[in-house]
Amino acid sequence: MTLGEIGAGRGYFTVKLARAVGSTGRVLANDIDSGALAALENRCRREDLQNVETVLGENVDPLFPDRTLDMVFMVYAFHDIDEQVALLENLARSLRTGATVVVLDDDPEVTGDDHFLATGAIIRLFRRAGYERVPVDDFLERDVLLVFRLSD
């Protein structure tokens, strides 16, 4: 399995994902901060994680290779993307058939933190970019967990 992570930063979740996919899988860790990606590369060397590749992206394009990703994670990152629809449209070419995009973010309807996007707003942005929601049980109390895939 090949996973992509948008907004990987220094790799808190990247390392966990890399261990989860094991030696036969790989994780493409994307960010627009080259310094954070350099720190992630150093961490992967120290921890002997050979299945992580960093990808320096652009604000509107993660620059993942075409048709390589089985799943994409955006963990506490989607709300910080300036042009979400453009990024999602550009991401589409990197997805394999049936690939899913997972968004985990703070739920402002619970926390009152208006820095984050409400669930309905996230769903509308994904729909505008050509994705449909995949039903999943949202068991989190303070966070939004949403899964999407490209519409047919």
pLDDT for the residue 26:
97
Q: Which residue has the tokens 């303070």?
A: 142
Structural domains counted in the chain: 1
Nearest to 17 by CA among 4, 34, 36, 31: 4
Q: Which residues span the domain enclosing 67? A: 2-150
The average pLDDT across 13-39 equals 96
pTM value is 0.94
The average pLDDT across 37-57 equals 97
The average pLDDT across 27-46 equals 97
Output the domain CATH number for residue 45. 3.40.50.150
With 90 as the cut, is the pLDDT of residue 152 above it? no
Q: Under a CB-based contact definition with an 8 Å cutoff, are residues 3 and 73 in contact? A: yes
Tens-digit pLDDT profile for residues 78-131: 999 999 999 999 999 999 999 999 999 998 988 888 888 999 999 999 999 999
Nearest to 36 by CA among 10, 8, 56: 10
pLDDT for the residue 114:
84
